[in-house]
Amino acid sequence: MAIDIFSKQLGLIEKAIELRTQRHSVITSNVANRETPGFRAKDLVFEKELLKAYHNDRPSPLKTSDPRHFDGIKRKPIESVTGRRIHSFNPDPRPDGNTVNLDKEMAKLAENQLMHQFLTRKIGSSFQTLKRIIDQSGK
């Protein structure tokens, strides 16, 4: 059971890092196009979808007697989470139609970078814990 939980958490962290990297590209594209007339700022949202996929093993509302039965929950594995590209809301676009707000984009970039750093540290910590368990089991 512990290995299943460990591998599930690693899968979640791996996917979250992948999506954070993609979001970084979207945000830096916004910053690079801040002077492009008509450019509409975008973002990548995935947190709710990723959380839902992480909890896809929770009990379903319907009882089933066969694995092929529909259980009432639309289940999506973590690996298939892709996120959704949206247009960032800006109530005050420039006269040329550009919706990039540099301050907001830089704040999103900083937040995304902090989350990415946290995730990479978390995965490193998980491997250190696993190594410690393996080392102690041989004694």
- The pLDDT, as a whole number, for residue 10 is 87
| φ, ψ dihedrals at 5, nearest 5° | -65, -45
Local confidence pLDDT in tens for the 139 residues of the chain: 445 556 788 889 999 999 999 999 999 999 999 999 999 999 999 999 998 888 776 655 666 677 666 655 566 788 889 999 999 888 889 999 999 999 999 999 999 999 999 999 998 888 888 888 888 887 6
Sign of CA dihedral 26, 30, 31, 32: positive
Token pair 């962290």 is at which residue? 13
Q: Which two tokens stand for residue 95?
A: 């006269």
The domain total for the chain is 1
- How many whole angstroms separate alpha carbon 139 and alpha carbon 127? 19
**Angle, alpha carbons 7-11-17 (nearest 5°):** 140
- The pLDDT, as a whole number, for residue 1 is 41
Q: Which two tokens stand for residue 133?
A: 């368990």
Range of the domain at 129: 2-137
